[in-house]
Amino acid sequence: MEAKIGFRNTKSAIFKGVIVFFAFLITVPLIIILGYIIKQGIFQVNWHFLTNVPAPVGETGGGIANALLGSFIMVMVAAVIAIPIGMAAGIYLSENPKTKLAYYSGLCVDILQGVPSIVVGIVVYFWVVKPLGTFSALSGSLALAIMMLPIVIRSTEQTLRLLPDSLKEAALSLGVPYHRVILKVIVPCGFAGILSGIMLSIARIIGETAPLLFTAFGNPYLSTSLTKPMESLPHLIFTYATSPYDDWHNLAWGASFILLMFVLILNIVTKLLTRKWKVQL
Amino acid sequence: MENKRLKLSNEQLKWETIFRRILIAMSILLVLIILGVLATLIVESMPSIKSLGIGFLWGKIWDPVSNVYGAYPFLVGTLLTSFIALIISVPFSYAIAIYLGEYNPKGWLSDLLKNAIELIAAVPSIIYGFWGLFVLVPIIRTFEMSIHVAPYGIGVFTSSLILAVMIIPYGASLGITLIRMVPSHLKEGAYALGATRFEVIRNVIMPYTRSGLFAGVLLSLGRALGETMAVTMLIGNTSAVADTLKNAIFGPGNTMASVIANEFTEADHTQYLSALIELGLVLFFVTVIINLIGKRIITKFTND
Amino acid sequence: MESTIVRAENYNAYFGDNHVVKDVNISINKHEVIAVMGPSGCGKTTFLRGINRMHELIPNATAKGKILLDDQNVYDMNAIYVRSKIGMVFQRPNPFPNLSIYENVVAGYLLNGIKISKADKDVIVEKSLTSAALWKEVKDSLHKKGTFLSGGQQQRLCIARAIAMQPELILFDEPTSALDPISTSSVEALFHELKENYTLIIVTHNMQQAARVSDRTAFFYMGELVEFDDTKQMFTNPSDQRTQNYITGRFS
């Protein structure tokens, strides 16, 4: 009997060891990959790198200014499109969970969450690029906005669902109209959760390449026009990483480093802000 | 004063209605987007559907030059990469889920691991692809030489490896949530009978969360199927079907997503383009169905 | 007749097909404190919420009949306007957690975008908090959020918030059932002072509270208004057997 228990305990300890091993093993590739990107990319970054466009083939130097500006513009436009729509849909879903529209709309959010980003790119190509006759930053932003929507909607919906009904009732009983109750009480009380959803969706799309392949395409020059092609950080990395030129590889490493830093900083800032601005219920 | 208040209330009533209508409109917009996506995919792949019919799905030749299109190579590539990635990632996802859900749910070490998982999920796929191209490929090339296969370096196997790393966070975070949901009285009952930690995990937690964890596998699969950039950079972009399974795994290939990414802008005639779109349509259906099944299982699980 | 502030005529309320309030006729005078009591599920809260048209905000909730506020049927009026004229205090204190104490008191104006000068706001805040017997306790922390206050203080803040809108009528939905005994008595003491300027209708499941604070009491049972009488009379010599059973504790 004793031996049996001893054996079972050993088995349990071994199992725990195996679990811990596999669980922490995952940090190894993470550290290796991040370390390599930082090592290769950090020394590419200097003022020249950030303010110049890529040099033509054969010339050294150049930078990623066009991609930096492009990513910034397209992400901002995508956010401007996706945030109001996403919040409105999220509010509707949390306020009217039992309607038929909520069921089908929620289903579509789930579907949209699973649609591969390349498919979104194809569709927006036919919706915007073909009619306009040119690749454009606008189409890129639209594709990115479509990818942002599910995240913004779900986080808005889930944040607002957690708020107690008594909040709404208090405001309504004071003679506050429904839209002001939502906009001035409910949404501000859920601000931290909604904001974190928005920032996480932005962190997600600044790294997205596939939707931009046939929408924004790419542009070797600085551009602010929404109706012309525009470069972006991930797209530049893709093009230059798969090119045969070492200079371009270096540009891609530097851009990868910058992109990685953006994503990391956004995630960290999101965590800090959510903690700071969370309303004590 | 009274009249002012009444006037204000009347105006507010108007805005209330407008606001409610906007909320409804935005929700309808969502349905329209999905319908639009589906419609565009179907309409643009019509030429291909009409001329190639259902045989498209098992056509083994993809030769745009001779206008012959078959999806089989990409179905194989997609399934191979996704399943190999799943097989590799599942032990890790499970281990993380069990560790963070059961052994060590709180504390600094657990937070560290949680942050690491979130970090893995946050890194853009293009960066994984870039790293894979320059670091992993040479390593795999050496490995392939040592096991006496053609040392491509790139290929299905390499993509699967990177894909595995990328999908671990999805299975892991779902698993953590599910394992935390196991009611403590079930576990306590087992402990009270003298069960060891391992036995409680194996005989109480695992059976209880089985369907949910399966859903987690499905969702990870859905994610893997749709992954484009890292795979495109590492898979070698060959549209031929390999002759043996070994060559299929260790050689270059293509997935539905990667062939679209590579050839979309080169498709210069309707047949070519619409065949690619048809691949997109297949990809859309497969990922959507798998994701929805996974989500349904989870909703059922969390509601019971 | 001129002193009637609110009157219900054949008022019925439903949740879907469920007939929850049946044919209520009642007339309430200004500056009265009315207690509405009855066992759980008797419709007293539903009736209360029909007065300020909060009832219809629940999906599938409908109402028939009239409720007249100063001789105007509230169901013919703009609902938002009605609610701004009637104050309501809920069972669980619900100050807005994203607003300070000061902002909570004037929330009715703030959230509606009604512009008042800072001086006027200060006056309203002080007057309302004083009427709610809270001014002394919070006057030095007006700009802190209200969530650090005790339950009783939070409830008095909600009362101040309702008073700040200058209603004639204030509805209370079991206002002390979530409070400890000390907070309860501080709120009950308020009722006596408030009736000077306002009319109060208080739904309570606590018979003793009804007997303590009200001038007249309404007894609801299974959706019907069974009896409505002088409080002393109701508790010493009720006219209906059901009232007698309730008061003697046959059911609660």
Given a contact cutoff of 8 angstroms between Cβ atoms, the answer to whether A113 and A150 are in contact is yes
Are C80 and A173 within 8 A, CB to CB?
no
Q: How far apart are CA A128 and CA A138, in angstroms?
A: 8
Helix, strand, or coil here: A28? Answer: helix
Question: Residues of C near A (CB-CB distance < 8 A)?
Answer: 52, 54, 57, 59, 80-85, 87-88, 90, 92, 94-98, 107-108, 110-113, 145, 147, 158, 161-162, 165
Q: Is the pLDDT of residue A113 over 70?
A: yes
Min Cα–Cα distance to chain A from B208, Å: 19
- In one-letter notation, the amino acid at residue B81 is T
- By Cβ distance, the residue of B19, B34, B99 closest to A178 is B19
Are A281 and C94 within 8 A, CB to CB?
no
Are C111 and A166 within 8 A, CB to CB?
no
The predicted pLDDT at position C225 comes to: 93
Are B10 and C112 within 8 A, CB to CB?
no
DSSP C102-144: HHHHTHHHHTTT----HHHHHHHHHHHHHHTT-HHHHTT-TTS
Min Cα–Cα distance to chain C from A182, Å: 10
Q: Where are the domains of chain A?
A: 2-43, 45-277
The predicted pLDDT at position C147 comes to: 79
CA angle, residues B295, B301, B303, in degrees to nearest 5: 105
Q: By the CB < 8 Å criterion, does B13 face chain C?
A: yes
> How confident is the prediction for chain A on average, in pLDDT?
92
Are A30 and B168 within 8 A, CB to CB?
no
Minimum Cα–Cα distance from C171: chain A residue = A173
ipTM above 0.90, yes or no: yes
Are B8 and C114 within 8 A, CB to CB?
yes
Mutate to test the interface with C, among A95, A101, A174 (most CBs of C within 10 A): A174
Q: Is the pLDDT of residue A1 over 80?
A: no
- By Cβ distance, the residue of A11, A260, A264 closest to B198 is A11
Are C111 and A181 within 8 A, CB to CB?
yes
Considering the four listed CATH numbers 3.90.1150.180, 1.10.3720.10, 3.40.50.1220, 3.40.50.300, the one that applies to the domain covering A45-277 is 1.10.3720.10
Given a contact cutoff of 8 angstroms between Cβ atoms, the answer to whether C199 and C169 are in contact is yes
- Mean pLDDT per block of 10 residues along chain B (304 residues) reads 79 92 96 96 90 84 87 91 93 91 86 92 94 94 87 90 94 88 88 86 86 88 91 90 82 92 88 92 94 89 74
**All domains of chain B, ordered by start, with CATH?**
54-303 (1.10.3720.10)
Q: By the CB < 8 Å criterion, does B245 face chain A?
A: no
What the block records as the tokens of B191 is 């402990």
Minimum Cα–Cα distance from A192: chain C residue = C98
**All domains of chain C, ordered by start, with CATH?**
4-247 (3.40.50.300)
Mutate to test the interface with B, among C56, C69, C77, C80 (most CBs of B within 10 A): C80
Q: How far apart are CA B58 and CA B15, in angstroms?
A: 57
Strand ranges for chain C from DSSP E: 4-15, 18-29, 33-37, 61-69, 72-73, 86-89, 169-173, 199-204, 216-221, 224-230
Min Cα–Cα distance to chain C from B23, Å: 17
The predicted pLDDT at position B53 comes to: 82
Around A165, how many Cα atoms within 13 Å sit in the side-chain half-sphere? 7
- Mean pLDDT of all residues in A9-17: 88
Q: How far apart are CA B295 and CA B303, in angstroms?
A: 12
The predicted pLDDT at position A183 comes to: 95
| Range with the poorest average pLDDT among A139-143, A271-275, C95-99 | A271-275
Q: By the CB < 8 Å criterion, does B108 face chain A?
A: no
- By Cβ distance, the residue of C97, C107, C145 closest to A174 is C107
Q: Which residues lie below 8 Å from residue A33, measured CB to CB, with a gap of 6+?
A: B123, B127, B128, B131
> How confident is the prediction for chain C on average, in pLDDT?
92
Q: By the CB < 8 Å criterion, does C236 face chain B?
A: no
Chain A: list its partners (3+ Cβ pairs within 8 Å): B, C
- By Cβ distance, the residue of C90, C111, C145 closest to A166 is C90
Given a contact cutoff of 8 angstroms between Cβ atoms, the answer to whether B210 and B201 are in contact is no
Q: What secondary structure, in 3-state letters, does B91-119 show?
A: HHHHHHHHHHHHHCCCCHHHHHHHHHHHH
Min Cα–Cα distance to chain A from B303, Å: 15
Q: How far apart are CA C5 and CA C251, in angstroms?
A: 32
Are A185 and C165 within 8 A, CB to CB?
no
CA A214 to chain centre: 19
Min Cα–Cα distance to chain C from A272, Å: 19
Are A127 and B280 within 8 A, CB to CB?
no
Q: How far apart are CA A140 and CA A161, in angstroms?
A: 32
Are C97 and A189 within 8 A, CB to CB?
yes
- Mean pLDDT of all residues in C42-71: 92
CA A194 to chain centre: 14
Chain B: list its partners (3+ Cβ pairs within 8 Å): A, C
- Mean pLDDT of all residues in C135-158: 90
- Mean pLDDT of all residues in A277-281: 74
Min Cα–Cα distance to chain A from B61, Å: 23
- In one-letter notation, the amino acid at residue A35 is G
Q: Is the pLDDT of residue C1 over 60?
A: no
Are A116 and B225 within 8 A, CB to CB?
yes
